[in-house]
Amino acid sequence: MPSVRSKLTTALALAMAAGAALAQSYPAKPVRVIIGYAAGGPTDVLGRIIAMKLSTNVGQTMFVENRPGANSIIGTEVAAKAAPDGYTLLLASIGHTVNPSFYGKVPYDAIRSFAPITLVATLPLVMVVNPALPVKTMRDLVALARAKPGELSFGSAGNGSSPHLGGELLKTMAKINMIHVPYKGNGPALADVMAGQIPLMFYPVVGVAQNVNAGKIRALAIGAKRRLDELPQVPTMAEAGFPGFEESAPWIGYLAPAATPADIVNKLHSEVLRTLTDAEVKDRMKTLGAVLVGNTPAEFATFLRADLVKWANVIKAAGARAN
């Protein structure tokens, strides 16, 4: 009679074989990619570029489903509660690690409810101002804010968004007082900066270069480790006197619901990385200013835990909480 140990060994071997077979046939139908933001925003634009090529690579449609609301909490909850079969994914962004501290409570666990796949890219924040604002550098901006405490306002995509927290971080680092004006998305906020309704904002780099080059806005600094080829004249925040600010860069990354089989997670990881090395995808992402990453599931898990702690500390220091 087989021992208990031999039975367990056999069961484990069968499970591993079944998992491998499942991954080999995956995906057998279209895959839903949830994005917790409206169409046209930075996460959506990049997500659709990747989804198009990824669909070709895996032989099934990777279709984007926008579920905006509450700084991505609505879409994230849908993904967290989806079947862990690889047919629902979440293209998460920085809101994923900001929301638990900013809102105090979310209907899922940002770490335990998900299986990390890969960190796709970071999207450095660019400080942009209306050309009529009498500042040319970050030093000018800080001097103006100190001369007019509480009079300058900055826009954002909404409470808890990366532009909001970037502004709060600048306030803390520069010891200045500015008024936050939340919008329903980055697009409307940037439109009002260009129209002169508000003087400035931090904007995720995607697509900002064309507006800078057209003279619609002025870029003062970019929160990246090095200057971008698309904006070579714009200094980094470190060069402008704010070292470490680049660590606040927004990001996007793929997550699956917790308990998604490891073989499927690993296959998704390899296919996403294959997509990110495609020449056309790399060129489009670079043109938009995204900095490609493509790390391992384990590395992404470590990143998420650290980011959760970092933003909890920033939010506590800034006193920034949802109203």
CATH number of the domain where residue 84 is located: 3.40.190.150
Q: Report yes or no on 115 lying in a domain.
A: yes
Contacts of 97 (CB under 8 A, 6+ apart): 110, 304, 307, 308, 310, 311
Rounded percentage of the chain residues whose pLDDT exceeds 70: 93
Same domain as 285, residue 204: no
pLDDT of res. 314: 83
Residues 91 and 143 in one domain: no
> Are 141 and 166 found together in one domain?
yes
**Residue 159 sits in the same domain as residue 49:** no
Give the torsion sign (CA, 131, 168, 255, 228). positive
Give the residue-averaged pLDDT of 264-282: 97
Q: What is the mean predicted confidence (pLDDT) over 120-129?
A: 96
- Euclidean distance between CA atoms 141 and 9, whole angstroms: 66
Give me the domain span that covers residue 287.
20-122+251-318
231 within some domain: yes
Condensed to tens digits (0 to 9), the pLDDT of residues 97-118 reads 999 999 989 999 999 999 999 9
Within a domain: 7: no
Task: Check whether residue 214 and residue 286 sit in a common domain.
Answer: no
Identify the burial level of 57 via C-beta atoms within 10 angstroms of its C-beta, where 0-12 means exposed, 13-18 middle and 19 or more buried: middle
The CB-side HSE value for 90 (13 A sphere, CA atoms) comes to 32
30 and 118 assigned to the same domain: yes
Tell me, what's the pLDDT at 23? Answer: 67
* DSSP classification of residue 312: H
Res 21: pLDDT:
58
Residue 57 · residue 275 · CB < 8 Å? yes
**Each residue of 289-304: pLDDT tens digit?**
899 999 999 999 999 9
What one-character DSSP code corresponds to residue 125?
E
- Is 10 among the domain residues? no
**pLDDT, tens only, 22-55:** 567 899 999 999 999 888 888 999 999 999 999 9
Tokens of 181: 């004006």
Please, are residues 101 and 309 in contact by the beta-carbon 8 Å criterion? no
Query: Residue 103: helix, strand or coil by DSSP?
Result: helix
Distance linking the first and last C-alpha atoms of the chain? 66
Cα gap 164→187, rounded to integer Å = 14
153 domain residue, yes or no: yes
Q: Are residue 104 and residue 152 in the same domain, yes or no? A: no
The tally of domains found in the chain comes to 2
Same domain, 206 and 129: yes
Q: Is residue 13 part of a domain?
A: no
Q: For residue 316, what pLDDT is reported?
A: 86
Write the CATH number for 242. Answer: 3.40.190.10
pLDDT value for 315: 87
pLDDT of residue 15: 46
Among candidate residues 225, 248, 271, the one where a domain is terminated = 248
Q: Are residues 118 and 129 in the same domain?
A: no
Pure H helices in 104-197: 138-147, 162-174, 186-195
Q: Are residues 157 and 218 in the same domain?
A: yes
Token reading at 111 = 């770490």
- Distance between CA atoms of residues 309 and 300, nearest Å: 14
Residue 260 domain flag: yes
Pick from 5, 15, 158, 3: nearest CA to 95? 158
Looking at the structure, do residues 208 and 130 belong to the same domain, yes or no?
A: yes
Mean pLDDT of the chain: 91
The per-residue pLDDT for 323 is 61
Are 136 and 211 part of one and the same domain? yes
Whether residue 12 is contained in a domain is answered as no
pLDDT in the model for residue 40: 83
Q: pLDDT tens for residues 192-247?
A: 999 999 999 999 888 888 899 999 999 999 999 999 888 999 999 999 999 999 88
Per-residue confidence at 9, pLDDT binned at 50, 70, 90? low
User: Higher-confidence residue: 69 or 107?
Assistant: 107
DSSP 235: P
Q: Which pLDDT score is estimated for 319? A: 78
